[in-house]
Amino acid sequence: MCGIFGNIGRLKDSDMEVAREMLCHRGPDGQVYKTYEPNVHLFHARLSIVDIAGGTQPMDDEDLAIIFNGEIYNHLELRKQFSLSGQTHSDTETILLLYKKLGLDMLEHLEGMFAMALYDKRQGKVYLFRDRAGKKPLYFSKTNDSIYFGSEQNLLQKILRPSIRLSAMAAYLQTGMVYGEATPFEGISEVKPGHFVDIDVRRGIISEQKEWWSIVPFYEQDSIEASDEEALQELDRRLKQAVKRRIESSDLEVGCFLSGGIDSGIVTAMATEVKPGLRTFTVRFSDEYDESPIARKVANHLGTNHQELDVSYDNLLQDFENIVNAYGEPFVDDSQIPSYYVAREARKHLTVIVNGDGGDELFGGYRRYVPYANALLTSGGVKAVSKLIAPLLPAPDNKMTLYNYAYRLAKLNSLESFEQYLSASTDLLLDQATPFKVKPDEALEKKIRSIYGKNISALDKIMLADFETILPYILLKKIDISSMQNSLEGRSPFLSKDIMEFAPTLPDHMKVRGRTTKWLLRKLAAQYLPIGNEKLPKRGFETPIIEMVEKTLQPILQDYLHSSNCLYKDVLEASFVEKLLNDKVAVSKDKRAKILFGILSMEIWYRKQAEAVPA
């Protein structure tokens, strides 16, 4: 787990100073910079986890050089499989050796998370590769005389001082994310998950992004023909292998996050089979839902070395701007706050943590999947009635009520495709009379309409949409930034190649059965966890968003949103935000708080950009 930065063309000394400063938190164990003929500059900031003595980067092998952020969990297996012999035990060297043998075909064999730049001197090309799910970030930009790439937008922004794309900001406020290749900045692009670009180092030409892996074909193929028991055994085998690889491929101690949920419980149970008595951690937030008694019960059942970490929001007002600014772009998910504090506390004890991330998206863990699995979203009379009554229904005050479920169901039935997906997932301003001054970027809309046009089940459509949008552009981004702010590595067995290519092939009834979400995983949990745990509902980080916006963050909310230099005034009608601040918009308290949180995050990010630009 590291940070990378590179330049093709002319690199100023000041650019390297910026890279060293801004990637130190990703790689506190050492920073190395090399220049290669004719004009390639590679920099690596290292968090040492695998082959601590021999894994220094940039790493060279004859006419190849590489900088690499991530982990390849099966790299020792690949050495045996392809008879690769190297000078170190580093997974970085394994990549070079495998590329020498297979060329770009090596990608299909890599099991892990990665963002890397590989310089092939003979071809005169630098390749930028990103992993299948998009766990590790990678950005690039072309100027008149150089090409830059690196792990963080903040780094490229500080060097290049690009202007802001207002259409991206409108899309962010509409959908809760900046989706796709484009970023909030003019001229800075993101390598998409499962894609790569190649750069001609002599001519300074960047190729179009090329897809090397996609989950789509696995959704489009016929579901597997297997009994419940056969599917359960296959899932057990694949997940055990994924957990084993993530425990064993580290020279440092590996622990587990153990919440009260079944995903982390299953992962922890399998990890204890590899490493009995491993360390597990649960967090307790003051004045919030406390999962620690459930986690403690699981830890006692599994015999782990368990520790409960107490976390509070006492210093949130002082910490909030730094938490937001770490993302390099506006970030709407309020669970970034507990995620930051959890990572900070865990890093005091370990450097590598295994988690249960990805289980919900791949196995059907969200409550919003139930209507899709049970044909409750119809094209007949129910839809016609829903279109009539949905606009008349008052917004619910409490999202944990039966009325809220009925309200959401009516809203979903009244909408189509893109609008329906946003309503079911991430929308901020979709429900409002459009207050935009700028038309939102349409990249996400095109992606969702494409997915909803596929000949797959309704459940598979929303799960595929989540995997290709929310997972990489919100959830995995949050995990990467919150962990790397604290020099902590998170490993996710559910996002292994074997699991990602297996889960989509399961029939719908093994994902959601009746009102039971994550059905197959719950069956697996019953084999490993205390009796009854497999029936527990999903609980994520429940941040007190209303109290935060109305009380804790109120001083900076008023400061930023009443500033004379607000970005939202270029994107939205200012009168709408004023009404929102005065609670004059007909939305629930929870929705109002989320919209204001999203606008505040954008303004904090914008002021940081403005401060970075010299007068």
Please, what sign has the CA dihedral across residues 312, 316, 320, 326? Answer: negative
Binding-site residue set for ATP: 283
CA atoms of 67 and 31, how far apart (whole Å)? 11
- Ranges of H-type helices in 254-304: 262-274, 292-302
Q: Is 64 helix (H, G, I), strand (E, B) or coil?
A: strand
What CA–CA distances, in Å, run from 493 to 65, 112, 290, 354, 503?
29, 9, 25, 8, 13
For 91-145, what is the HEC assignment?
Answer: HHHHHHHHHHHHHHHHHHHCCEEEEEEEEECCCCEEEEEECCCCCCCCEEEECCC
Only one residue has tokens 């800075």, namely 188
Asked if 566 is an active-site residue, the reply is no
Strands (E), 291-431: 305-311, 352-354
Binding-site residue set: 91, 283
Only one residue has tokens 């922890």, namely 268
Residues in the chain: 615
Strands (E), 519-591: none
* Burial status of residue 202 (CB atoms within 10 A of its CB: 0-12, 13-18, 19 or more): exposed
The contacts of residue 83 (CB under 8 Å, 6+ apart) are none
CA atoms of 67 and 77, how far apart (whole Å)? 21
Of 211, 267, 213, 210, which Cα lies nearest the Cα of 239? 267
Please, what sign has the CA dihedral across residues 557, 562, 565, 566? Answer: positive
Binding-site residue set for L-glutamine: 91
Residues with catalytic function = 2
